[in-house]
Structure 1
Amino acid sequence: MILGQDKALDQFEAAWSARTLHHAWLVAGPRGVGKAAFARLAATRVLAEAAGPAIELPRLQTPPEHPMARLVEAGSHPDLRWLERLENPKTGALARNISVDQVRSLGELFGSTPFMSAWRAVIIDAADDLEPSAANALLKMLEEPPANCLFLLVAHAPGRLLPTIRSRCRKLEFQRLDDDVMASIVSIQKPGIAAEERDRIVAMAGGSAGRAAALADLDLAPLEQAALAILRDGDPTNGRRAELAVELGRKGAAERYAAFLELVPSLVAREARGLGGGQRERALDAYGRARELTALAPRLSLDPASTVFQIGGILAAVAQPRA
C-alpha cells in the first residue's frame, strides 16, 4: 500500500478502469515518496487484470496470490521489463547511466507477441539516469508506441529529461509526505519504535519515506547532525569535514555514502528556508553546488572520501564566506 499519494493513484486507476490509459506516464517527485513502488503496483495491476479475472481491490492493489503478481514479485513476468542502472560485476558499483543497449533490448519485448495477455509494461527507474543515446532511443519508442503497452518513467528531476520525452508522457505528481503519514510509515517500518525517536526521524526525513528508512537503518542521523554543524558553525580547521570523509570513505560504507549524497541537497535547502540576507544567498549557492556534485559523484565514480571533504567545504562556506 502507498500512503499519502491518493491523487496520483486515483488518476491512474481512473484511466485504467475506463480503459483510456495513456501509453506513457512520467511519475515525478522527490526521492523516497513512493514513485517506484507505485510503478510496480500499477504495472502489476494492469498485467494481472489484462490476463484476468477482474480485480475488485481498491488503490491498484493486486492479490499477492494472483499468478501475475507472483511472476512480477519473482522478477520473471515475460511481459514486464524493469530498466535501471546495472551493477558492475567486477567492482560491485552501479553503472553511471542506463545504457542505450538496455533501451534497445526492449525491441525483444515489443518484437514478439505478449505471453500472458495483450499488455506489456516497461518501468524505467530512474529516467533521470538515461544516457543521451538511451533517451533518444526511448523517444523513438514513445513516438510510435506498440499497441497495449505501458511505459512508467520514474523521475526525481523531470526537468532533466528531453522536452520531447516529457511531452509524450502524462505526468503524475508525487508530493512530499506530511508528518502524520510519515509517522505512520515509520511506525509500520519500525514496530515498537519509541515515539521520541520516531518524531526525530520524521523531522529529519523531510517528507521522504525512503530517507526515513535510511535514517533508521543506516544510522544517518549522526551524519546529518555533523553536516548541519559544518553548515551552521563552519569548519575553520577542516577537522569536521575530515572526520566525515574518513567515516564515509572507509570500506563497507558504500550504502551510507550513497544515502548521504542523497541527503545533502535537501538538508541545505531545508536550512536555507530559515536564513536571511547574505547567508541565505550563500545557502542557495551551496544547494546548487551540492546538488551538482552529489549527482555527478556516483556517475563519475569519484572517490568517496574526497567527495565528502569537498561537500564539507561547500557547507562550511554558508557559515563562513570566503574572504
Structure 2
Amino acid sequence: MNNKTNPFTEIIGQHTAKLLLTEAIEHNKIAPAYLFTSEIEGVGKTKTALAFANTIVGENHLDVLHIKPTSSRSLLEGTSPRQLLCENTSQQKGIPTIRVEQIREVIEFLSTSAINSNQKVVIIHSCDMLHPSAANTLLKTLEEPKTGTFIVISSHPQKLLPTIKSRCQIIPFHRLTDEEVVSVIKNQQIELTQEILAISEGSPGRGIAHIKMLLSIPKAIVSQLEAPPSDILSALSLSNSISSWNHETQLWLLTYLQHNWWKKLQNTQLLAKFTQARNQLLYHVNPRSVWDSLLLP
C-alpha cells in the first residue's frame, strides 16, 4: 500500500494500530467488530476510525452511523415509564450516556442495505459510557450476523462488559512521543509551550485542551502565578479571583501550577498542599478557603 492509497498517512504515530488495520484492508479480512482502545484520550483513535471507515464504505458517509453519549432526556416513542426512570437517573445528574434507543437505532441502521458499498460501519464513541441496558442490547447485536462493521472507541476499556470486549478485535493505541505530540499540534497551527507539553502526557488531544484552557485565563493572573505569591495581599487577591472561576478551570489550574512550581522549586511540602487542595475541590470544600490555604505564604 503506497502513500497515495494508504488511508492512514495523516495519522501520526500509532504504528501498531495502523499495521493491524492495513493488513486487514490488504487481505480483505475486515472483522465484524473492533475495539479502538487506549489508556488515555486524545491519541488519534477517532481520526483513525474515520479513516478506516472511509476505506470500508468509500466516501459515502450515509453508510456510516456515529453513536455518541448524550445528556438529552428525550426518548423515542414506545419507551416504558420504568425504562424512562432507569435510564434518566444518570442523565438527571448531567452525566452523558449512550442510551438503549441509540443502540436500537444501530439495529435499524444495519437492517437496511448499504447505499454505495457492500456493508455499513457503526462507530460508537466513548463506548464506556453505555447505559447497562444499552450495553446488553449492544452485546446481543454483536452476537447476531450483520452486514456491518462496528468500531467501538474507548479510553476506559475496563468499564466495558468483558463479553463486549471479547467480541471485538482489539486495536491498541498508545501515548505519543513528545516529538509526535509537537508534530500533531503544529499541524493545528497552535503554539505549544514546554509546560503544556509536559502535562499533556503523550496526548495531542489533551495538549490542545490544555492550551485552550490556558488561553481562557487572564494573562495577568498567569504572570503572577509563575511562582508562589510572596506577600499576603497578592495571595488573597489571586485567591479571590481564582475562586470565582468554574470548577473545571480551578482543577486544571492546580495541575498546571503543580507542574510548574515543582519544576522550579522541587518542594515536597508544596506537593502535599496541591494534593490537599485537589481533594478539597473534588469534595466541594469552599474554593476560597482552598486557594487561601494554597497561596498564602
| TM-score range normalised by the length of the shorter chain | 0.5 to 0.7
Give the C-alpha shift of residue 155 in structure 1. Answer: 0.4
Give the C-alpha shift of residue 216 in structure 1. Answer: 2.3
* Pairing 1:12–2:21 present: yes
**Of the two, which has the highest radius of gyration?**
2
Deviations 1:13-69 (A, max 9, x none): 111221222111111111111111111111111111xxxxxxxxxxxxxxxxxxx1x
Give the C-alpha shift of residue 269 in structure 1. Answer: 11
Change (3 A) 1:285 1:88: same
In 2, Cα distance between equivalents of 1:317 and 1:131: 40
In 2, Cα distance between equivalents of 1:165 and 1:269: 39
Task: Name the residue aligned to 2:54.
Answer: 44
- What SS is found at the alignment partner of 2:115? coil
Task: Name the residue aligned to 2:189.
Answer: 190
Task: Name the residue aligned to 2:205.
Answer: 210
Give the C-alpha shift of residue 263 in structure 1. Answer: 5.8
* Pairing 1:35–2:45 present: yes
* Pairing 1:248–2:257 present: no
Query: What residue identity is the alignment partner of 1:82?
Result: H
Change (3 A) 1:185 1:89: same
**Contact 1:211–1:263 under 8 Å retained in 2:** no
Task: Name the residue aligned to 1:181.
Answer: 180
In 1, Cα distance between equivalents of 2:280 and 2:157: 19
- What SS is found at the alignment partner of 1:122? strand
Change (3 A) 1:81 1:200: same
Per mean C-alpha deviation after superposition, the further-off stretch among 125-134 and 17-26 is: 17-26
Deviations 1:69-112 (A, max 9, x none): xx43xxxx1x211000236499xx97620111111111211212
Give the C-alpha shift of residue 190 in structure 1. Answer: 2.1
Per mean C-alpha deviation after superposition, the further-off stretch among 109-118 and 119-128 is: 109-118
Task: Name the residue aligned to 2:69.
Answer: 85
- What SS is found at the alignment partner of 2:28? coil
Alignment of 1:1-323 (within 5 A): 1-29=10-38, 30-48=40-58, 68=59, 71-72=60-61, 77=62, 79-86=63-70, 88=72, 96-147=96-147, 149-190=148-189, 193=191, 197-219=192-214, 243-248=241-246, 257=248
In 2, Cα distance between equivalents of 1:99 and 1:143: 19
Task: Name the residue aligned to 1:57.
Answer: none
Change (3 A) 1:207 1:241: farther
Aligned residues: 253
Gaps in structure 1 of 5+ consecutive residues: 49-67, 250-256, 294-305, 319-323
- What SS is found at the alignment partner of 1:25? strand
**Contact 1:26–1:170 under 8 Å retained in 2:** yes
Identity rate of aligned residues, in percent?
26
Give the C-alpha shift of residue 185 in structure 1. Answer: 1.7
**Contact 2:258–2:271 under 8 Å retained in 1:** no
In 2, Cα distance between equivalents of 1:202 and 1:143: 42
Deviations 1:244-283 (A, max 9, x none): 442126xxxxxxx3xx599699889989xx99x9999999
Change (3 A) 1:24 1:243: farther
In 2, Cα distance between equivalents of 1:80 and 1:3: 24
**Contact 2:254–2:274 under 8 Å retained in 1:** no
**Contact 1:268–1:287 under 8 Å retained in 2:** no
In 1, Cα distance between equivalents of 2:49 and 2:145: 19
**Contact 1:84–1:124 under 8 Å retained in 2:** yes
In 1, Cα distance between equivalents of 2:149 and 2:254: 32
In 1, Cα distance between equivalents of 2:142 and 2:253: 34
Give the C-alpha shift of residue 170 in structure 1. Answer: 1.1
- What SS is found at the alignment partner of 1:142? helix
In 1, Cα distance between equivalents of 2:250 and 2:162: 27
- What SS is found at the alignment partner of 1:219? helix
